[in-house]
Amino acid sequence: MSEWIQIGAVLDFPRQGSRVVESPKGAIAVFRTQDDRFFALHDRCPHRGGPLSQGIVYGHRIACPLHSWVIELETGEAVAPDEGETACFQIREDQGNIYLKV
Amino acid sequence: MQGANGGTPESGNGANSSQGELALFLPDGIQTHEYTERAMKKKMKLVVIGNGMAGIRTVEELLKMAPDLYDISVFGAEPHCNYNRILLSPVLAGEKSLNDIILNQEDWYTEHHITLYKGEKATLIDRKNRSVIGELGARADYDRLLIATGSSPFILPIPGRELSGVVAFRDIKDVDQMLEAARTGRHAVVIGGGLLGLEAANGLRKQGMDVTVVHNMTSLMERQLDEPAASLLQNSLEQSGLSFLIAAQTEAIIGENRVRAVRFKDGLEIPADLVVMAVGIRPNIELAKASGIHCERGIIVSDTMQTYDPSVYAVGECVQHRGELFGLVAPTFEQAKVCANQLAEVGSGRYRGSVTSTKLKVTGIDLFSAGDFKGGEGFEELVMQDPSRGIYKKLVVKDNRIRGAVLYGDTVAGGWYFQLMRESTDIQSFRESILFGHSNMADEGRDGQSIASMSDDAEVCGCNGVCKKTVVDAILEKKLFTLDEVRAHTKASSSCGSCTGLVEQILQATVGNYDPTPAEKPVCACTTHAHDAVRQQIAQRGLKSLDAIFRSLDWQTPDGCQKCRPALNYYLLCAWPSEYRDDPNSRFINERVHANIQKDGTYSVVPRMWGGLTTPDELRAIAGVADKFQIPTVKVTGGQRIDLLGVKKEDLPAVWAELNSAGMVSGHAYGKSLRTVKTCVGSEWCRFGTQDSTGLGVKLEKMTWGSWTPHKFKMAVSGCPRNCAEATIKDFGIICVDSGYEIHVGGNGGIKIRGTDLLVKVSSETEVFEYCGAFMQIYREEGRYLERTAPWIERVGLAYVKSRLENAEERQRLFEKFKVSQETAQVDPWAELSKPAARSEFVAIASLENSHV
Ligand code: SRM
Ligand SMILES: Cc1cc2nc3c(=O)[nH]c(=O)nc-3n(C[C@H](O)[C@H](O)[C@H](O)COP(=O)(O)OP(=O)(O)OC[C@H]3O[C@@H](n4cnc5c(N)ncnc54)[C@H](O)[C@@H]3O)c2cc1C
Ligand code: SF4
Ligand code: FES
C-alpha cells in the first residue's frame, strides 16, 4: 500500500541541490532542479552504490560524486554508454509543500 | 593522439545513445518538447548524396542531437552500406574481412527511418524545385541537402588506361578486382609511391604477387617524408619484397583487351597482369557544378559547411574550405560535427580547418609525419638517427615550438609531439630530452612494447582494471573512432589518464588513424568555447554570474553540466574575488561540504597542521574527536598531517566545531586550492639546516591558505639541498641554502612525475613571499581549470613565467592582487558550516517510519 507523505516545503530544498529522506529500505534522494522540478531517486548509484544526493545537479540529471556516472532524474537510468538503473519515486508539489509517494 | 571529436558515443546502438546525447543539447522539458511538437507539425526533409564516411558521420552526429527533426534519404552510388574506407588497405592485405569494416548495417538505416537508395547514383540536383533525381529514377525532395560525394582517383591520361586490369584504389569494387587479379596473375605494377600506392603494393605482395612500385619523384611519400626517412622506408619495403622504379615516367600501358605490360619513357618495359593507379585524388564535384553550385577545385564551403546555396551543405573530400582540400578522415569528421550542429539548429559551431598527421598502415612499418616537416630557412631541426636500429626522428622547431615531425622506426611519441605542435607548447625546458620521447612515466614503462605483442589480458588501465581485449572488442563492436568514445564505453583512460598514450595506440592499431582534436578543446559539450576564450569574455564583457555566461556566450544547455559549472564558478571567483558569490551547487561534493567523500559515502576530515607542526593539545583534541564520534581510521597523510577517515556526514558539523574549539581549521585536503606546505626540521634542530625551513613553511601556509586555484597547489620548504621535504616535486618549492632561498616551480609528484624548474634565487623571506603570491596569482589567472602548474608551465613555458615575475613592478602588482583575493578567501569553512543555520544540509530532511514503506 502506498501513500503520499509530506517531507518538507519547497523552500527547504536548494535549487540545483538535493536533500535526503531516510527510509528503512535505504535513503531516498530528493532533487530540485534549476527549473524548480522535483525528483526522487533511491540514493544509490547503479554503478557502485555512490550517494547520488551528493552529486552535481544539472538539467534533469545528476552526476554521481564517486565516478561521474550520469543518471536521468526522470527515469533513474544511467546515461549511455553506461548501463544501469536506480529506483524512482513519485513526488509532487502542492501549495508550497513537497509530498513523496512511498 | 585521438581527441575530442565531441567525445560522444557512436549511435551504433540506436535509440539509447541518441537519447543520451539529446539532453546535452536539449535539456529535457522545454526544448525536447518543442522538437516533438515541431516534428508532429511537419518534419523537414534532408537528402544526403554520398553514403560514405563524411556524409554518414554527419547523419550520425545529427541523430544524436535532433533525432526527430528530419526525414532523411541517402543516395549511395556504391552497392554497399556505409563502410570504413581507410580499412580497405588491411582488407586487401588479408588482415581484415569486408564484414569487419562495415560501419552501419542495413538495420541501422531502417531503425532511423532513413531511406537508402543503395547503388543509385544521384544524377541531378533540381535546386529550383529542391529535389534530387537518381540514375534509376528515384526522386527525393529536400528542405536541406548535404553533398558528400568524396573524391575520385585521378587516372593518368596515358594510352592503355582503359584496358581491363587497370584499376584505382578507392572502393570495395577496386579491392575485389585486385584480389581477383592476385588469384590469376603474377605481376602487379603500382603507379604512385604515396601513402595509398604503398598500402596497395603491400597488400598485393601479401596476396602473393610480385609488385613493382613506380614513382615519378626522387623519393617516396615526398608529401609526408623527408629524404632520410623516405630512404629508410624504401629499404625496409625492399627487404619485405617490393621492387621500386624511382623517378620513372610511365609512357603507356600495353595490352590488347587486358593489360600485359607497362612501358616507360626510357624504353624499359615490364610485365604486368594488374596495374594500380594511385597518383592522387580529385574532389567529386561534377554533380554540384552541373547544378550551379559554386566550385573551384572543390565545392566551396563556409565555416558553417554551407555552399553558396544556403540550403545546401557539403562535407568531406568533395569540399574546398578556405582554399584547402582534404584527403584524411580526421578533418572530415570535424566538418561532420560542425555540419550536424548546423543542421540540428542547436549549435554555433564553426569549422576553422584542421591540423593533420599521417601514419602508414603497413604492418611492421612505423612511420609518422605531421605538419611542416621540411623546415628550411628560419627553422631549426632536431634530429636523432640510429641506423642500426632503423630509427630516425626529426622535429622541426621554430621559436621553441614544434612545427613539424617525421618519425621512422619508433613512433611511440608521435601523439605527444603532435599534441605539443597543435597546442603550440614551449618546449624549451625539455628540449634536450625531447627526442627520447615522453616524460610520461606510465607510458614510458610500456615503451618498446608493440601493441601487437601485448597479450589480450594485459592490463591497459590500472585505475579501472581494463585489459587490452576489452578495449579492442569495444572499438570493433561499438564502432568507436576517438579516444573520448573509448573512454566513455570502456572507462579506460578516463580516470587518471596515464594510460592515454597506450589506449591511443590500441585505437590506431585497431581502426587506423584519426586525430580529431581541434587545437583547443571546448570546455565541455555545452559550448564551443575553449577555456581561455571564456575567461577572456568574462573579463571583457564583465560577466559576473553563471547565468550571464550561459546567456552571453550561447551555452547550449540552460544550466551547464558537471564539467563546465565547476570551471566557470572558479573563473568567476578568480575574476571577481570581492563581488562574486561562490555557488556551492557548482562545486564537486568535497568542496561543497569541505570534506573528502569516501567510497562508502562517509567523509574524511583533515585539519590543518601548519607546516607539518602539531602540539600535544591538538593531538589530544584529535584523539578526543576520534573517540567521541567513533571514527574508525586515523592516518598520517602524505602531506604531513592527520586524516580522520570514515566520518558520517551528519557528524561533520559537530566534528568540525570540536576541532575548531581546539584552534584547528580546515586543511582543504579536498580543494582545488592550497593544500599543504611540507617542511623539514631545518636550522632549528638539524645539523645541516641553513635556514628556518619550518618557520618559513608555517608563514607561507598562513599567507596562502584558503586560496582557490585551478587545480590543487602544494608547497614545501627544505632546509638544505638534501631536500627532505621533497620541495622539487611541488608546485612551489623552496630549497634553503646558506646564502638564501632557491625558488623552484612546476613540480608534480602525482600521475606524471615532473621535477621543478628553478625560477630564481633570492636572499630574504620577504622576497620568497612576494614571489610565492605573484606566482600563484599568474597561475590562478591563466591556468585552465584542472590544469596543475606542471602542465601549465609546460604549455606556456618557463621563460614566460620568468619574464612576468622578473619585473619587480609586475611582481608587486600580482602579489597585491593575490592579497586582495585572500581577504575574502581566508574564512574557515568549517566554522561557517558548523553554525546551526548551515547544519540542515548535513542531516536528512525527513525520516520515514517503517510502516510507511
Ligand atoms: C589522504 C592522502 C593519502 C594519504 O593517506 O596520505 C591523499 C588522498 C587522496 N588523493 Fe592524493 N592524497 C595525499 C597526498 C598526495 C600526494 C603526496 C603529497 O602531497 O606530498 C600526492 C603526490 C604529490 C602531488 O600532488 O604532486 C598526491 C597525488 C594525488 C593525485 C595526482 C595529482 C596529479 O597532479 O597528478 C590525485 C588525483 C587528482 O588530484 O586529480 C590525488 C587525489 C587524491 C584523492 C583526493 C582522491 C579522490 O579524489 O578522492 C584522495 C582523497 C582521499 C581522502 O578522502 O582523504 N592525489 N596525493 C594524502 C593527503 C595529503 C594531505 O595531507 O592533504
Ligand atoms: C585505401 C584507402 C586508405 C585510406 N587510408 C586512410 C588513413 O589511413 N587515414 C585517413 O585519415 N584517411 C585515409 N583514407 C582517406 C579516407 O578514406 C577519406 O578521407 C574518406 O573516406 C573521405 O570521406 P568522404 O565521405 O568525403 O568520401 P567517401 O568515403 O569516398 O564517400 C563518398 C561516397 O559518395 C559516393 N558518391 C559519389 N558521387 C555520388 C553521387 N553522385 N550519387 C551518390 N553517391 C555518390 C561514393 O560512391 C562514395 O561512396 C584512405 C582512403 C583509401 C581509399
Ligand atoms: S589515496 Fe591516492 S593513491 Fe591511494 S587509492 Fe586514493 S587516490 Fe589512489
Ligand atoms: S558509484 Fe556512482 S559513478 Fe561509481
**Which pLDDT band holds residue B452 (cuts at 50, 70, 90)?**
low
- A8: distance to nearest CA of chain B, Å? 7
d(CA B638, CA B819): 28
Which of A23, A50, A60 has the CB atom closest to B29's CB atom?
A60
Q: Is the per-residue pLDDT at B389 higher than 70?
A: yes
Nearest to B327 by CA among B282, B291, B371: B282
Nearest CB to B846: which of A21, A58, A72?
A21
Contact B844 A22 (CB under 8 A): yes
Assembly ipTM: 0.76
Q: Is the pLDDT of residue B628 over 70?
A: yes
- Chain B residue nearest residue A23, CA to CA: B848
Assigned fold of B166-279: FAD/NAD(P)-binding domain (3.50.50)
- pLDDT tens track for B457-489: 777 777 777 888 899 999 888 888 878 888 888
Q: What is the pLDDT along chain A (102 residues), one digit of tens a residue?
A: 578 999 999 999 999 999 999 998 899 999 999 999 999 999 999 999 999 999 999 999 999 999 999 999 999 999 988 899 999 999 999 999 999 998
Minimal Cα–Cα distance from B10 to chain A, Å? 9
| Sequential DSSP letters for B165-207 | TEEESSSHHHHHHHHHHHHH--EEEEE--SHHHHHHHHHHHHT
CA distance B729 to B718: 12
CB B396 within 8 A of CB B405: yes
Q: What is the mean pLDDT of residues B756-785?
A: 96
- Ligand 2 site, residue B517, Cβ cutoff 6 A: no
Q: Which residues of B touch A1 (CB under 8 A)?
A: none
Phi/psi of residue B475, nearest 5 degrees: -60, -45
Look at residue B498 in the predicted model and tell me its pLDDT. 67
**B516 cis-preceded (ω within 30 degrees of 0):** no
What is the reported pLDDT for B591?
93
Q: Which residue type, as a one-letter code, is found at position B379?
A: F
- Give B684-725 pLDDT, tens digit per residue: 999 999 999 999 999 999 999 999 999 999 999 999 999 999
> Looking at the partner chain, which of A55, A60, A63 has a beta carbon nearest the beta carbon of B28?
A60
> Above 50 in pLDDT, residue B18?
no
* Number of domains chain A contains: 1
* Closest protein CA for atom 4 of ligand 4: A67
| Structure confidence at residue B766 (pLDDT) | 97
| Predicted pLDDT of residue B301 | 96
List ligand 4's pocket residues with C-beta within 6 A: A 45, 47-50, 64, 66-69
Question: Which residue range(s) make up the domain with A56?
Answer: 4-101
B588-666+828-853 adopts what CATH topology? Alpha-Beta Plaits (3.30.70)
Give residue limits of the domains in chain B: 43-151+283-343, 166-279, 531-587, 588-666+828-853, 672-823
Distance CA B632, CA B12 (A): 47
Q: Which atom of ligand 2 is nearest to the CA of B316?
A: 26
What's the mean per-residue pLDDT of chain B? 88
**Quick one: pLDDT band at residue B409, thresholds 50, 70, 90?**
confident
Residue B443, pLDDT above cutoff 70:
no
SS3 labels along B547-593: HHHHHHCCCCCCCCCCCHHHHHHHHHHHHCCCCCCCCHHHCCHHHHH
CA distance B492 to B645: 28
Q: Are B84 and B99 spatial neighbours (Cβ–Cβ below 8 Å)?
A: no
Task: Using the mean position of ligand 2's atoms as its centre, give its distance from the Cα of residue B189 in Å.
Answer: 23
Instruction: Give the least confident one: B13-17, B85-89, B518-522.
Output: B13-17
Express each pLDDT in B137-154 by its tens digit.
999 999 999 999 999 999
Examine domains B43-151+283-343 and B166-279 and report if their fold is the same: yes
Between CA B761 and CA B738 the distance in angstroms is 12
Predicted confidence at residue B95, as pLDDT, reads 83
Answer whether CATH 3.30.413.10 is correct for domain B672-823: yes
Rounded to an integer, what distance in angstroms lies between the CA atom of residue B149 and that of residue B53?
10
**Any idea which ligand is nearest the CA of A71?**
4
Which residue's C-alpha cell is 607561507? B700
Tally of CA atoms within 13 A in the half-sphere of B557 that contains its CB: 27
Q: Is the pLDDT confidence value at B395 over 90?
A: yes
Is it true that domain B43-151+283-343 has CATH number 3.50.50.60? yes
Using pLDDT thresholds of 50, 70 and 90, give the confidence band for residue B347: low
Q: List the single range of B43-47, B212-216, B360-364, B513-517 with lowest mean pLDDT.
A: B513-517
Q: How confident is the model at residue B504 (pLDDT cuts 50, 70, 90)?
A: confident
Specify the pLDDT at position B40.
Answer: 53
* pLDDT of B4 above 50: no
> For B151-189, what is each residue's pLDDT tens digit?
999 999 999 999 999 999 999 999 999 999 999 999 999
